[in-house]
Amino acid sequence: LLTGAEGCYGVLTLDENQNQTCLLAQATILATGGCGQLYLNTTNPEVATGDGVALAFHAGAPVADLEFVQFHPTALRLPDTPCFLITEAVRGEGGILRNAHEDRFMPSYHHQAELAPRDVVARSVLLEMLKTGTDHVYLDLSLLGPELTKHRFPNIYETCLSYGLDITKAPIPVAPAAHYMMGGVATDLYGRTGVPHLFACGEVANSGVHGANRLASNSLLDGLVFGHRILTYLQTHQLSFNQLPAELEATFSAETNPAQVTADRLTLQQLASTELGIIRQENGLCQAQHYLTATDLQQVPALTPDYLELQNLRLFAQLLVTAACARQESRGSHYRLDYPDPNPAWTKRIIQSPQGTSTIPVEQPFTWRW
């Protein structure tokens, strides 16, 4: 982002031919999605590398609630197959979760069994995987019968069939996958951030509507509602700059080793999946913090999108681990084995900016005045 005394002036772009271009705008809107690629297993697309949060943070915008990462409990788990999401409606229709020994396990974790909250089911599935030494459990649809299964879930049936699995004849191997970031760039109800002329909407933004645990489909608020509110704001407010800086220069640095970038990204994903995932504790968080501070990729020259994305993933991980260490309790999707219960003293939000980390009461909205 191109920033100066009056806020954000636009962006510096890098195209496939490594040409750099400055694009100036009176309003810049971040709508870059989340950061699911921080983890080995995710339902997110390959471009979900935390770019928007990293851009905003470097520009000086506060970010909030980054410790809250939602994992979908049932993503398809097959070799060399994408993490295709198996909707909770399957369990709502009577699908049963079974471990590697074919035992139903959810009733032993929660009185609502398979219909327990998403974070409870994801945590229970992970614990069963650890107990049995497997990388998945099974979602059994036999109680639904073949006709109901195909009628109610035609897309799931056809997709699994394309991967060689007939879910009317065999259970679905599933495992939790990173799905949605409740945290993001702190915004008010018009999508404004802490940097003038910079807006954010969608998963990259954090207006606070999801709290610690997003309800299913409520992500529509982030995109449709707040995207529309930004548009309404821009139609009714004339944004302008008093004076553009005499020079707006920013450059990307030179190229680096692609093989090393790939290896470093895999190491980061393995670390995040183990220590910053569904179940966290102090030792693991400290290990992650040490790894992220022991090496500084900013000192390595780069001009590849892969490297820039790795930088952004690392920054997102650093912000996440800082917030997760600070929140010494379990709340929503943030579960700490060493602090397994909610603590009323932590009914507040963790805000991070280049100036430091602070907290605000949950009932206090962000109000950015430009």
Q: CA 141 to CA 91: how far, in whole Å?
A: 8
Query: What single DSSP character describes residue 50?
Result: S
DSSP calls for 165-203: --TTTSPEEEEEEEEEES-EEE--TT-B-SSTTEEE-GG
Q: Which residues are catalytic?
A: 118
- Give, as one character, the DSSP assignment of residue 214: P
What's phi and psi for 9, nearest 5 deg?
-100, -10
- Residues contacting 298, CB < 8 A, separation 6+: 311
What token pair was written down for 128?
Answer: 């069963």
Locus of tokens 């939790």 = 176
DSSP 108: G
DSSP letters along 243-256, please? ---S----------
CA distances from 119 to 25, 135, 183, 246, 332 (A): 40, 18, 16, 51, 7
How far apart, in whole angstroms, are the C-alpha atoms of residue 70 and residue 90?
Answer: 19
